[in-house]
Amino acid sequence: MPAIARTAVLLTAIATLTLPAAAHAAPTAPETGETVAQPLQIALKALTVKDEDRTGYERTAFKHWVDSDKDSCSTRNEVLLAEALTAPEQGPKCKLTGGRWYSEYDDQYIDGPSGLDIDHRVPFAEAWDSAKEWTPAERQDSPTIWVTSGR
Ligand SMILES: [Ca+2]
């Protein structure tokens, strides 16, 4: 085999051996706002993992269960009204009767508001990692609560 042909065969073999390694190279994080399509496991490996920092966290930093818009409906009733499959009747002082809800947490349908809990999707302590930079009003209005069966 001529020397040039041996060199080409050798380079092809090296390329074949190195390409799979390059395909599994350490993933890099996409630029902010960049849309990427890749297997989830590769995307997860690209995430930056930081230690949790609870510095400054106090549960009272998240004001909730209030009537921030002063319409006499508490946060609980606001969530119930927003997530009802069948709207409840709303009486004086936002007393709710009737209605139907779905609890995604345990795949249950519940009739009437008394059998429901309003729970946090993300515990406040976990949310603090992002929310410590927010204003008190932003923390109060964050969508971290949802209807559950309370079971
Ligand atoms: Ca309200």
How remote is the CA of residue 71 from the centroid of ligand 1, in Å?
5
- 63 and 109, same structural domain? yes
Instruction: State the distance from the centre of ligand 1 to the C-alpha of 91, rounded, in angstroms.
Output: 14
Burial class (CB in 10 A: 0-12, 13-18, 19+), 139: buried
Q: How far is ligand 1, taken at its centre, from the CA of residue 75, in Å?
A: 6
Looking at the domain assignment, is residue 136 inside a domain?
Answer: yes
**116 with 79, same domain?**
yes
Is residue 10 included in any domain, yes or no?
A: yes
Let me know whether 66 and 95 are in one domain.
yes
Expressed in angstroms and rounded, the spacing between residue 40 Cα and the centre of ligand 1 is 40
Q: How many domains does the chain have?
A: 2
Residue 1: its pLDDT value, please?
A: 46
CA 148 to centroid of chain Cα atoms: 17
Is residue 52 domain-resident?
Answer: no
Residue 36 shares a structural domain with residue 97: no
Q: What local confidence, expressed as pLDDT, does residue 10 receive? A: 40
pLDDT of the chain along its 151 residues, tens only? 444 444 444 444 433 333 344 445 555 666 778 888 889 999 888 888 888 888 989 888 887 778 888 999 988 899 899 999 999 999 999 999 999 999 888 899 999 999 898 887 788 888 888 788 888 878 876 666 667 766 6
Looking at the fold, whether 106 and 139 belong to one and the same domain comes out as yes
Whether 139 and 72 map to the same domain: the answer is yes
- Confirm whether 110 is domain-assigned: yes
| Residues less than 5 Å from ion ligand 1, measured at CB | 67, 69, 71, 73
Look up the domain containing 67 and give its range: 59-148
Same domain, 67 and 141: yes
Structural domain contains residue 14: yes
Residues 7 and 72 in one domain: no
